[in-house]
Structure 1
Amino acid sequence: MRFTKSVLLASTVLGIAVSAAPAIAQDAKDDGAEQSAQTGGLNDIIVTARKRQETAQDVPVAVTAISAEQIINRDVTSVEKITAIAPQFSVGRASNGSGAQLTLRGIGSSSTSIGIEQSVAVVVDGAYYGQGRVIQEGFFDLARVEVLKGPQALFFGKNATAGVISISTADPTDKPEFMIKGGYEFKSQQYRLEGYASMPLTDTLGFRLAARYTKMDGGYYRNEADTINYTELDSATGAFTTHTAEPAKRKAPGEEEFLARATLKWEPTDRLTVNLKGTMDVSTVNNSSWNYVAFRCGNGETSQLNGYACGKDFVSHQNNMPADIAANYPYAKKDGSLYNKYRSAGGTLNVTYDADLLQVSSVTNYQWNNNRWACACDFQSAGSENGIGPTWATENSSWKAFSQELRALTQFDGPFNMMVGMLYQKTQRDFDQFVLTGGVSNSAAPDGFQYVTTAKNSFTKGETMAVFGQATYKILSNLELAAGVRYSDETKNSFFTQPYNNPLLTSVFRDQNDPDGLGEVTARQHFQNWSPEATLTWKVTPDLMVYGAFKTAYKSGGFSNGGINSKLSSDPSADLTFDPEKAQGFELGFKSTVLSNQLRFNVTAFNYKYSNLQVDFFNSPIFAFQTLTADARTKGVEVEWQFAPNGIPGFDIHGSINYDKARYTDFPLAPCFAGQTPGEGCNLSGNSRQDLSGEQLSVAPKWTGNLGINYEVSIGSANKLGLNIDSKYSASYLASGFGNPLSRQSKYVTIDAGIRFGAEDDNWQLALIGKNLTNQFYVTGVVDGPSTGGGTGTVGGLKADQLGFGTLPRTVMVEVTKRF
C-alpha cells in the first residue's frame, strides 16, 4: 500500500496546483513554447480517437496515448505489453477458446468461447480486429498506441463495449532511412533481429519495408512433469493397452516468429493520400498452454490431478501425446509433441481526400488467420494411476474477414459540422477440433479416429451493415456539442456437429446421426441496434478542457463454435447461442496543461451499466459449455498526470491512480463454481445456481496505478544517456467470474526499467531493458482444473484446482540499434 499512498499524495499535491490553473495557464504562452523546446516541458502526442488528428489533451475521450519513443523504450511488442503502461487494461493469454481475455475497467470477455468477440476491440491502422486470437500477433515498427477507455460506438469499425486498443504502424519517411536492431533476452534465451528500410521512390510515392525475426532457445516457464502411463479400453474388442506419455518440452514456449510489413504511401497532391499496408505473421510455440499454472489447489497443497504441489511460480506439468497415438491422429505432430502454430496475413488500404470543405476517407481491409495446436487439455497431465485419464486435443481453426468503411467529414468555418459514414463487413470462421480422453479407443473407427473421443466441426458466416453519423455545433466559440448515432444490422449463420464419437461416449455426446434429430445444430441469428452518444466540451482556457459524455455501445450475440452438443442437455441450440451485449452510461472529465506547459493533469469519472454481459462457463451437470448473460456496472475515477520541468530538459515524472468498482448488478441464477456448497451460496434452482448480484467481476481490481520516471541527458557533444523506471500497482481481484475465493489474486507491484546510451542524433544506441524486475507471479484469468473438484451444491463439495493464465517472469533484454 505504500505505492498507493505515494500516488495519492502526489495526486493531492497536483490537485492543489491545478486549482491555481486559471491564474497561471496563460503565463507567456507563446514564449513558453519556445522555451520548452530548449529547456524541457511537455511534448504533445497526436491521437486519432475521433478519426482526425488531435492532441491527446484536446480530445474529449479518456485515452492513454503511447508514443513511438515510449513503445521503443518500453519494448511494447505485443498487446500484452501494453498493460504495463495502461494499468486498467489486462490481458489473459489462453490456449484455446478465443485465445484471450481482454479486460478494461473490469469489463472483458471470457476466453473459453471462440465465438465471442472481445468487449475490448483491437484496431490496427483503422481496421477492426475483434477476435481474441489477435493476441497471437506480434506488433513492431509502430507510430503510436492509443488505449480508449469505455464504450466506443462511432469511430472504430464495429462497436466496442469496453474500449479500444488502437494501433498505428509507421509510415514511409520523406528521406531514406534504414535501421537494424539486434537483441538478446536472457531468461528465455531469445534472439531478436529487426529492421526497416524506408525511402521515397518518387516525389509522391514512399515505401517502407519492416521485418522482425525472433527465436527462443529456452522459455519463460519450466515444465516439471514426469513420464506418465495410462491404460485405454478398445470399445471394439474390449482389449486394454498401456500408453506412455513423455514430458512436454522442459522450457516453454520456445517461440519462433517472423513478421513482415510493407507500406506504400502515395501523395500525388496535397489533398489526396493513399496508404496501402500488407502484413504477414508466422509464429510457433512448443506448447499452446505453456502459461497455465496450478496456483491454488482445491484440496489444500497438491493438485488433484497429479499430486504435484500447487504454487505461485512459473511452473507447469504437462505431457506430450503418446507417440504411437499421434502417428495417426488429426493435426498431431508425429512424435506427439505439443505445439501452437499461428499464421496470418492481411492488407489495409487507407484513402483520404481532403478538400476545402469536405474530407472523405476510406478504409478497406482483408484479414486471415489460421491457428493449429495440440494441447494437453487437462493442462496439468495425470496418469490413470489416479483414476483420471489424461486429455489431449488438437484444433484447426481459420478466420477471414473483409470490411469496407467510408466516411465523410465536413470542414466548414461556421459553427456546424458533421460526419457520416458506413461500414460493411463479411466474415467466416471454420472450426475443427479433435478431443482424446485417455481411457477409450475404437479400433473399428474410420482411419484417423481410433483414439478420438469426440470430434467437432463448425462454422459461422457473418455479415454486418452499419451506418453512423455525428453532428457538432459550437454553441459558443469555446463550447461544443457533439451528438451521433450508429445503426448496426448483423446476421450470423452457424452450423455445429460432432461427426464422430467413441461408442463408449454416445450416452454423453450427440453426433451428426443422432436419432433424436439434434445431432446437427444450425442457427440463423439477426441482430439490430441503435447506439447513440453525445458529448459537451467546454474549453475553459486554451490549456483547460472540461467535458461530459453520454455513451452507449453494442456487441452482437453469436455462436460458440467450440461448444459441446451434450445428450444431457435438452436444448443444444440454446447452449451454443448467446445474446447481444450492451453498454450505457456517462463520463465526466477535465484535461489541463498548466505551469507553462510543464504539468499535465487529467481526471475522469465514469459510470456505465452493462446489460447482457456475455459470460461463458462449463456446465458440468449437463457436460456443456454455455454462454450466459448478466447485468453489470462499472464506475470509478481515473487520475493521470505528467510533470516535465522546464529547468531539467529530458526529464519527466508521470503516474496515474484509478478507482474502479465493477460488479454484477443482476445475475440471480449464476452458475455455482465447482465444489461450491449450500453454505457458500450454491442453493438456488436445484443446488446448481447462486446469486452473484453485487459481487465482483472477473479481473476487476478496485485500485490500480502506475508511477514512473524518464530522463534523457546529453553527454558531451555527440552522445546521450536515457533512463526509465516504471512501476505498476494492482489491488487484489478475483480471476474467476463466478466468485470462487480460491481464484483470488493478491495485490502486487511490478517494476520495469531501462537504460540507453547512444548517439545524440540516434545514429546508434545500446539499450538494456528489464521487465517485471520484482519477478512477480500473477494471473490474469483462470479456469477450473478439468476433472478436479466435485460435489457442487452439496455439503461435501470439493473445490476445483485453479489453473491461472500466468504472466511473464522477470526478463532482461540487451539491444543494439544502428541507423543509416
Structure 2
Amino acid sequence: MKSNNKILGALTIGALLVASAYAGAEEADPAPIVKADDNGAVPSVTVSATRRNASLQSVPVAVSVLDGDALVNANRTSIDSIVQEVPSVTFRQAGGNKDSTIFVRGIGTISTSPGVEPTVSTVVDGVVYARPGQATLDLLDIEHIEILRGPQGTLFGKNASSGVLNVIGRKSSQETAGFVDAGWYEGNEKRLRVGVSGAIQPGVVSASIVGLYGDYDGNVTNVHAGGGKVNGYDRKGVRARVDITPNKDLDIALIADYLNSTSSPTTTAYKSTSAAFNAGIAPVVAGTENRQVNADIPSDIEDKNKGLSAQVDYRFNGYTLTSITAVRDWDNTQYTSSSAIANSAEASRITAAYPATRDIGTLEFSQASQELRLASPKDQFAEYVVGAFYLHGKDRETYQRIVNNGTAINSGKANYGVKSDSYSLFGESTLNFAQDWRAIAGARWTRDNLSYDHVRTSTQTVAFTGVQPGVQNAGSTSENGYSGRVGLQYDITRDVNTYATFSRGYKGPAYNVFFNMLNRDTLALKPETSDSFELGLKATAFNRKLTANVAVFDTKYKNYQANFYDTVAGAVVTRLINAGDVSTRGVELDLNARPTRELTLSQSLAYTDATIDKFNCPAAAAASCNLNGNPLPFSPKWKSFTRANYALSLANGQVVDFGAEYSWQAKTQYDLFQSADAIQGAYGIVNGSVALSSPVGGWRIALVGKNLTNKSYATNLVASTGYVTRAVPRDDQRYFGITARKEF
C-alpha cells in the first residue's frame, strides 16, 4: 500500500508541477468539438456535463470526451468497443446485451435481474436508459460522448452512484447536406451509413435522417456440420430528428430511433481439466486462443430498441427552462446455452456431469420519463440548475431451460416481471465569490417504488442441474434516498483551475428477480450509497499546444450490490446481495498536445485500486466468503491509451493522415471469488490507419489495421467445474479494413 501511495503522490505532484510551470495562455471560448484548429492548437471542447455548455477545461468534473466521427473511423461503433479509449472504464462482455455491464473506476453491477438499476447510468440525448442492455447496441449518429466519472445525481435526471455515459447525437443543419460512409473489414464485416439533413422551412424547421446497416459473420468457427461462423451480428437502424425554432427564445427537438440487432455471442473453451468435458467438445480442443465450438444449435439473440423523445428549451430573462419527455421500448429474445456442451442432441457427448442445456428467454421492457430543469442566468453571483425527474419502468420476462443429461430431458420455466417508479428533485448551485474562486453545492432527493412477481414451474419437484423446483413469490418496497455534492473551485491562473469536491452517491433498492429465484431472494436489497472525495486540476499551456487534466479520487461504498456465485444442487447460481463495503481510489491523467500543426498526441492513464473491504457472506452460502482485501472484478490497476496522428497536407489540397494508437492494461481478475483461472494477463493492443482525404471535395478513404501485433486476449473468463470459458472480442486477432466517406 505504501508503494502505491508513493506512485499516486508522484503522479499527482508531477502533473501539478508540469501544468503550473507551463501555463500561460487564455482559455478559448467554448466551441463545439472540431476536427482541426487553424492556429495549430489543441481544439477547444464544449461539454454539457454541468447541464450548461461550457469548456471541458473549466468544469469541476472528471470527464472524458470521445468524438463520434473518430469512433466510426476506428470501427468503434458500440459501447463495448469504446472502453479501450477510456482507461477509467471497463466492460463485461457476457452472453447477451442484458447480461453486459459497464464499470467506471472499478465499480459496476453484474446482474441479469430487472429489479436492479445500473451503477453507471447511460443518457442519450438527455434521455435516461433504465436498463444497461438498452445502451450496449450500435451507436447510430453520435456527435460525441461524455463519460463523467464518480457519483452523479445533482444534475442528471437518474441517479448514478459511479458515473454517467452522456451520449450527444447530431443536430440537423439548416444547409442541405448528406453523407455516405461505408466500411469493409476482414472476416466479412460490412458497415454502411447514409444520412441527409437540411431545412424544411429555412430558419425555422430543419430535419435529418440517418440509416445504418452492419453485419459481421463472426470470429469463432462452429465445427458442427454446417455450423459456419458465429460470434457475429446483423444490425439495421434509423434515427430521425426534427429541430424547430419558432422564435429566438424557443427550441424544440423531436427525435425518433429504431434499431434491430441479431447476434450470436459465443464463449469458447479456454481451459479444461476434465476428460469427460474434453470428449464432449471434441474435436474442439480447449486453449487460450481457441476460437472453435461444437454446437448443433448456436446462440441466437435478437434485440429491438426504439424510442421517441421531445426536448423543449424556452429562454426568458436569462433563464432557460428545459423539458425532456420520452418513451422507449426494448424487446430481447435469446436462444442460448448455460453449458459448454452446447445444445447437443448427440447422446455420445452428454454426461450427467456435463449435460446439454438450451435456454429460451424473452424480455419486453418499456419506460416513460419526464424531466424538467431550470437554469439561471449566467455571470451572476449565484448560478444554479434545479430540476425534477420521473421515470416509470415496466418489465415482463419469460425464461425456459431445457436440460438433457443423456438419460432424460427435464425443463423449468419462469414468468416474472418488475415495475418501478422513481421520483426525484435535484439541483446544484455555483456561488461566484470572486473571479478566481467559487463554491459548489448540490442536493438530491429520490423516491423509489419497486415491485415484482415471479412464478416458476418445473418438471421435477427437486432441483436438478441448472433448474430449481417450482416456486411463486411477489413483493414490493419503497425507499427515500438523499445525495449531493459540495466543493470549491479555484483558478490558479486564467489557464489553470483546480477543484475539490465531496459527493454522496445513491443507488436505490433492488430485488434479485431471475429464472432460478428462490425464497431467500424475496427480501429487498438495501440501497447502495457511496462517499467520494475528488481533487482535480485542469491546465492549458503553450498557447493551447498542451492541455493536462488530473483527477485524484477516493470513494467508499456501503451496502454494495453485487452478484454472489453460489452452488445449489450441484449447479452454480448467482445471487444478488448487499455484499458489504468496497472502495475505489486512484488517479487519472489526460494529456492532449499539438506540438506542430501536423502532429496531434494524446495520452490517458488511470491507476485504480478497487478493493473489497468487508464482504458480508450470505447465510448458508456454499462458497467461501473470505474475500476481504481482494480486488473487485473487471478492475485492472493500471490502464492507458495513447494516440498519435500526423496530418500531411499535399500540394493539391488533399491531406494524408497517419494514425497510431496503443491501449494497454495490467492483469485483470474477472471473478469475484478470485479464481486463478479467471485472470487475464497484462496485454497491449496496437492499431494503425492511413487515410487520404479532400476537405474541399468532402471525401475520405482509409486503410485501418486492428491488433497489429496479433495479441489474443479475453474480455471475460468464467471458471466452472472442470473447465473455463472465455468471451472472444472482435479484435482477438489482427485484421484489416477499408473505409470510405463522401459528403455532399
Same fold (TM over 0.5): yes
**Residues of 2 paired with 1:526 and 1:461: CA distance?**
12
Give CA deviations for 1:265-309 in whole Å, capped at 9, x if unaligned: 011222211011100001112x3x42x133233569975964653
CA RMSD, 1 decimal: 2.9
Q: Give the AA of the match of 2:716.
A: G
Deviation at 1:670?
A: 7.0
Q: CA deviation at 1:37?
A: 4.6
Question: How far did residue 320 of structure 1 move?
Answer: 3.1
Residue 334 (structure 2) aligned to one of 373, 390, 398: 373
1:448-459 to 2 correspondence within 5 Å?
A: 453-459=411-417
Separation of aligned partners in 2, 1:137 and 1:118: 16
- Report if aligned partners of 2:439, 2:487 keep a CA contact under 8 Å in 1: yes
Q: What is the alpha-carbon distance in structure 1 between the residues aligned to residue 643 and residue 275 of structure 2?
A: 39
- CA 1:776/1:510 → structure 2, altered by over 3 Å: closer, same or farther? closer
CA apart distance, 1:801: 2.5
1-side partners of 2:667 and 2:499: how far apart? 31
CA 434–808 in structure 1, closer or farther in 2 if over 3 Å, else same:
same
Pairing partner for 1:351 from 301, 308, 312:
312
Aligned residue type for 2:212: R
SS at match of 1:90: strand
Q: Which residue of 2 aligns with 1:197?
A: 196
Residue 110 and residue 215 in structure 1: after superposition, are their counterparts in 2 closer, same or farther (change >3 A)?
A: same
- Maintained 8 Å contact 2:512/2:521: no
* Offset from partner CA, 1:421-456 (integer Å, 9 cap, x none): 1001110111101100113899xxxxxxxx661001
For the residue of structure 1 that corresponds to 2:709, the secondary structure is coil
Matches within 5 A, 1:525-564: 525-564=477-516
Q: Residue by residue, what CA displacement relative to the aligned partner does 1:569-621 show, whole Å, maximum 9, x if unpaired?
A: x63424xx433222111000100011111011111100000112211134213
TM-score between the two structures when normalised by the length of structure 2: 0.91
What is residue 767 of structure 1 aligned with on the other side? Answer: 702
Q: Which residue of 1 aligns with 2:3?
A: none
State the match for 1:720 in structure 2: 655
2:211 aligned residue = 211
Change (3 A) 1:558 1:349: same
Pick from 437, 441, 444: which aligns with 1:486?
444
- Asked whether the equivalents of residues 668 and 693 of structure 1 are also in contact (C-alpha less than 8 Å), the reply is no
Output aligned runs, 1:398-413, within 5 Å: 398-411=364-377, 413=379
Equivalent position of 1:263 in the other structure: 241
Choose the corresponding residue for 2:525, options 558, 578, 592.
Answer: 578
Hey, what does 2:568 align to over in structure 1? 621
Would the aligned equivalents of 1:781 and 1:805 in 2 still touch at CA under 8 Å? yes
**Range that drifts further, 544-553 or 63-72:** 63-72
CA 1:424/1:10 → structure 2, altered by over 3 Å: closer, same or farther?
A: closer
Tell me by how many angstroms 1:465 deviates.
Answer: 0.6
Which residue of structure 1 aligns with residue 78 of structure 2?
78
TM-superposed deviation, 1:811: 3.5
Amino acid at match of 1:340: I
SS at match of 1:154: coil
Larger Rg: 1
Q: Is residue 355 of structure 2 the alignment partner of residue 389 of structure 1?
A: yes
Q: Partner residue of 1:221?
A: 220
When the two structures are superposed, what TM-score results if normalisation uses the length of structure 1? 0.83
Q: 1:111 to 1:94 in 2, by over 3 A?
A: farther
Distance 1:812 1:194 in 2: 19
Work out the CA distance in 1 between the residues paired with 2:402 and 2:630. Answer: 37
Q: What secondary structure sits across from 2:432 in the alignment?
A: strand
Aligned pairs, number? 719
Residues 45-96 of structure 1 show CA distances to partners (whole Å, capped at 9, x for unaligned) of: 1111011111111111111111234233323310012112112211122115
Residue 498 of structure 1 and its aligned partner are, at CA, apart by: 0.7
Contact 1:97 1:114 in 2 (8 A): no
Aligned pair 1:319/2:295, yes or no? yes
Kept in 2: contact 1:453–1:505 (CA 8 A): no
Identical pairs, percent: 21
Q: Matches of 2:208 and 2:454 in 1, distance apart?
A: 43
How far apart are the structure 2 equivalents of 1:147 and 1:28?
A: 22
Q: 1:601 touches 1:640 (CA, 8 Å); kept in 2?
A: yes
Equivalent of 1:469 in 427, 431, 434: 427
1: CA distance, partners of 2:12 / 2:384: 38
Aligned pair partner of 2:271 in 283, 296, 301 = 296
Tell me: CA distance 1:595–1:380, structure 2 relative to 1, closer, same or farther (3 Å): farther
Query: Given that residues 97 and 136 in structure 2 are in contact (C-alpha distance below 8 angstroms), is that contact kept between their aligned partners in structure 1?
Result: no
Contiguous gaps of at least 5 residues in structure 2:
1-7, 30-35
Verify the 8 A CA contact 1:97 1:113 in the aligned structure 2.
Answer: no
8 Å CA contact 2:199, 2:206 repeated in 1: yes
Q: Secondary structure at the match of 2:329?
A: strand
Structure 1 partner of 2:5:
none
Post-superposition offset of 1:698? 0.2
What per-residue deviation string (whole Å, max 9, x for no partner) do you get for residues 779-805 of structure 1?
3334333xxx2xxxxxxxxxx523233
> Given the superposition, is the C-alpha separation of residues 760 and 117 from structure 1 closer, same or farther in structure 2, using an over 3 Å criterion?
same
- 1:107 deviates by 0.8
Q: What amino acid does structure 1 have at the position aligned with 2:221?
A: R
Q: 2:630 aligns with which of 695, 700, 716?
A: 695
CA contact (8 A) 2:461 2:469 kept: no
Mapped to 2, the partners of 1:580 and 1:320 lie a distance apart of 43
Question: Given that residues 297 and 304 in structure 1 are in contact (C-alpha distance below 8 angstroms), is that contact kept between their aligned partners in structure 2?
Answer: no
C-alpha distance in 2 between matches for 1:27 and 1:124:
28
Contact 1:432–1:457, Cα closer than 8 Å, also in 2: yes
- Judged with a 3 Å threshold, the aligned counterparts in structure 2 of structure 1 residues 742 and 262 are, in CA distance, closer, same or farther, namely same
Q: Which residue of 1 aligns with 2:147?
A: 147
Consecutive unaligned residues in structure 1, runs of 5 or more: 1-6, 30-35, 227-245, 322-336, 443-450, 513-518, 672-684, 790-799
